[in-house]
Amino acid sequence: MSEHNTGFSTTKTSVALVAPSSLHELEILQQQYFQLVPVQKLRWPQNHVLKHITVQDWIFFNMFDFDTMLLPQPPERYQLQVLRKIVKVVEDEFDDPELDEISDCLIHTLSALISKPSNSELDAAQQKAHVTYTFPSIAKGEKTATVTLLENQSVIASSGTTGLRTWEAALYLSEYLASEGMKYIRGQNVLELGAGTGLVSIVCSKYLEASCVLATDGSEDVVLAMEDNAFLNGIDKSHHLACRVLRWGRPLDDGEGGVGTVYDTVLGADITFDDSLFPLLISSFRILLEKNPQIKILIASTIRNDDTFAKFESACEKAAFRLTRVPSRPVLSNAEKQEGPFYSSTSDIKIVSIESTGPVQRDPFAI
C-alpha cells in the first residue's frame, strides 16, 4: 500500500476565478464528497452558483481531476452519482442553450464513468473505500487537518465486525479532544479501547502531540486494517503509535505499549452498544485503574438506546465507578452548518469521564 498525502488543497487558478462568497460553499462540498457523505445529504451550493462555468471548472479540478490531485479517489459509483446530480442541476438552470454551457471536463468525466462496468449496490457496500475526514478545528495555517481511512461502507462487514468503519462518536470525540479536551492528550500516554479504524488514535498521534498512543481492538483483522490506516496517514514509529490486539478483561502483555507503559488517558468511542460486553469492559477499567489510580477514562457514546446506556451506567455504579458527563458542544445538524467532519445528528452523543470512588479492588472476574 502506498502512502498518500491526505491534506486538502485547491487549484490556485480555479480559486482566483471563483467569487469569494461561493468558495466556502464549494470547499464544504469538496470535503463532504471525499468523506463520501450520501448524495442526498450533501450541502450543495445554490443552483445559480453551479451554473457558472468557472465554478464547474473548480469542481472538476478539485474533485474529479485525479491526474493532479493527491487525495485517493472515491468509489466510481459514488463519483457517478455526484456528477450526475451536478450536471442535472446545471442543465435545469439553463436559460439559453446557445449561451449556457457545461464544463467539457465534467462532461468527459461523466461519459467515462458511465461507460465503465459497475458493481451492484450490495457488492459496492461490502467493498472498502478511502474516506477522508476533515478537522478544521486543528488546521495549521491554510492547510486543513485531514485523516484518510480505508474502511467498509456497510454497517457490518462481511467478516461480522463493526470495527471496519468509522462511527459518529469517534468523530465527535476527536473534535472534542482537538479543542476543549487537548489537556488529556498533549504530552500524555494514551490508550484507546475498541479503536476500530483507528481514527481517534491517529488524530491524537498525528495532530494532538500525544507522547505515545496505543490503539487496541479485540479483532485481529481490525488491528491489521488499523496499521494500514496509520501508514496511509504517514504515521511511522517516530509518531509513537502502536496497534495491538487487546481483548477486554485481559491485561496488556509484554511488547510495545504493554505492561511497562503507564497510561495517563484511556479513550473509547462507541464501545457501549452491547450490554453483554459490559462486565469485560468494566474489568478492563479496573486493570488500568489498578496500575494508575489517577488515569483519565473518557468514553464517547452515541445514545441509540437509552436502556442500554442506562445499563452501562448501572454496571459502572456497581463497580464503584463514578460517571460524570463531560461538558461539550451540542451535535450540530447538517442544516446548522457542520464544518467538518460531517456525521448524523439523529442521536445524542455523550462523553463521560469514569473514575473510581475509592481504592480499586482487584476484579475477581477478570480474565
Over residues 117-145, the mean pLDDT reads 81
- At residue 159, the pLDDT reads 45
- At residue 253, the pLDDT reads 75
Is the distance from CB of 196 to CB of 170 less than 8 angstroms?
Answer: yes
The number of residues in the chain equals: 367
- At residue 142, the pLDDT reads 64
- At residue 173, the pLDDT reads 97
Is the distance from CB of 245 to CB of 226 less than 8 angstroms?
Answer: no
Would you call 103 helix, strand, or coil by DSSP? coil
The tens digit of pLDDT for each residue in 186-241 reads 999 999 999 999 999 999 999 999 999 999 999 999 999 999 999 999 997 777 89
What percent of the chain lies above the pLDDT cut of 90? 66
Select the more confidently predicted residue: 1 or 200: 200
Among 15-24, 264-273, 329-338, the range with the most confident prediction by mean pLDDT is: 264-273
Is the pLDDT at 81 greater than 90? The verdict is: yes
Rounded CA separation 14/221 (Å): 42
- At residue 245, the pLDDT reads 96
Select the more confidently predicted residue: 306 or 254: 306
Select the more confidently predicted residue: 350 or 338: 350
User: What are the counts of helices (DSSP H) followed by strands (DSSP E) for the chain?
Assistant: 12, 9
Of the candidates 150, 161, 154, the residue with the CA atom closest to the CA atom of residue 125: 154
Band the pLDDT of 9: cuts 50, 70, 90: low
What percent of the chain lies above the pLDDT cut of 70? 86
DSSP 40: G
- At residue 123, the pLDDT reads 73
Is the pLDDT at 137 greater than 80? The verdict is: yes
Lowest mean pLDDT among 98-112, 224-238, 327-341: 327-341
Mean of the per-residue pLDDT values of the chain: 87
CA angle 311, 154, 5 (to 5 degrees): 110
Is the pLDDT at 7 greater than 90? The verdict is: no
Is the distance from CB of 80 to CB of 121 less than 8 angstroms?
Answer: no
Band the pLDDT of 3: cuts 50, 70, 90: very low
Map out the domains of the chain as residue ranges: 12-118, 128-356
- At residue 10, the pLDDT reads 60
Band the pLDDT of 249: cuts 50, 70, 90: very high
Is the distance from CB of 91 to CB of 50 less than 8 angstroms?
Answer: no
Select the more confidently predicted residue: 311 or 1: 311
Lowest mean pLDDT among 58-62, 80-84, 141-145: 141-145
- At residue 254, the pLDDT reads 60
Whole-model pTM: value is: 0.89
Band the pLDDT of 93: cuts 50, 70, 90: confident
Over residues 334-351, the mean pLDDT reads 85
* AA identity, residue 178: A
DSSP 187: T
Is the pLDDT at 55 greater than 80? The verdict is: yes
Is the pLDDT at 343 greater than 80? The verdict is: yes
Is the pLDDT at 71 greater than 90? The verdict is: no
- At residue 138, the pLDDT reads 83
- At residue 333, the pLDDT reads 74
The answer regarding whether domain 128-356 maps to CATH 3.90.660.10 reads no
- At residue 362, the pLDDT reads 57
Over residues 134-153, the mean pLDDT reads 84
